[in-house]
Amino acid sequence: MIAPSADSLLRVWEDHQRAHPVQRALAALCAASPELDPGAWAAASIGERDGGLLALHESLFGSELCTTAACPQCGERLESDFSARDIRSHPDALPGPQRSLRVQQAGYDIEYRLPTSDDLLQLAGAGEPERGAESDPERELLRRCVSRAQLADSVLDPASLPDDVVAGIAADMARHDPDADVRIALECPVCGTAWQMRFDIVSYFWGELDDWAQRLLADVHALASAYGWSEPAILALSPTRRQIYLDMVGA
């Protein structure tokens, strides 16, 4: 994985303003790993993708992460700082091939693979009104991820599995893909309530990218106004040189 150039990151940001959050994440990851097949991140598990996004965040914006949350008991606003390294379980940030996994529970024998961004995008498309509102997203996801479901010798439709078997598959998925659901432990300093908050790197990363892009465009404006340089010339400057010129023009 490489840190993409300012120009290519800005392009990702500009081209995906109205895109689905999952597509935004995939576009940023593709810009950072031009050596990979374009579909590799879309076919990676959610945890692999989020681990990659954390690594990219680290290379672009540093490893410190800061979230705010409101206490569910008293409403106090909490700021919590933590490091990408605290929540990343896979140091290797590149997507690998999907493995076939197996759950055996109450006589049911299930073969499945982990959900991917491709699955989520397909489901997001299936949620549109014209595609039928009757489908249950969790069952639809099972249908996509389960390659074989059997009870004794009978082959079953994955969407017809009983709830406790579905819960067993979900628990097994979570075990095999721990980075897919990162939780941060919080404790309110006012009332002492402790709870866990889900950390969503997809929306967090895009928020940071958005701030970065707005700042960069303001810098381009300041330098273009002062020196008459073109946008490509200003974007091609290293961040250090850009900052030195910005200091000189007092921006």
How buried is residue 172: exposed, middle or buried, by Cβ count under 10 Å (0-12/13-18/19+)?
Answer: middle
Cα distance between residue 214 and residue 216, in whole Å = 5
Strand, coil or helix: 96: coil
CB of 1 to Zn ion, least distance (A): 39
Contacts of 48 (CB under 8 A, 6+ apart): 90, 95, 96, 177, 179
CB of 193 to Zn ion, least distance (A): 5
Q: Which ranges in 104-200 belong to alpha helices (H)? A: 117-126, 137-145, 163-176
| Nearer to Zn ion among residue 94 and residue 186 (C-beta) | 186
Residues in contact with Zn ion by the rule CB under 5 A: 71, 73-74, 76, 188, 190-191, 193
| Nearer to Zn ion among residue 160 and residue 193 (C-beta) | 193
| Nearer to Zn ion among residue 170 and residue 186 (C-beta) | 186
* Crossing angle for the helix pair 117-126 and 21-32, to the nearest 10 degrees: 150
Distance, C-alpha 113 to centroid of its chain: 19
CB of 179 to Zn ion, least distance (A): 29
User: Phi, psi at residue 206, to the nearest 5°?
Assistant: -65, -35
CB of 194 to Zn ion, least distance (A): 10
Amino acid (one-letter) located at 12: V
CB of 191 to Zn ion, least distance (A): 3
| Nearer to Zn ion among residue 77 and residue 175 (C-beta) | 77
| Nearer to Zn ion among residue 77 and residue 198 (C-beta) | 77
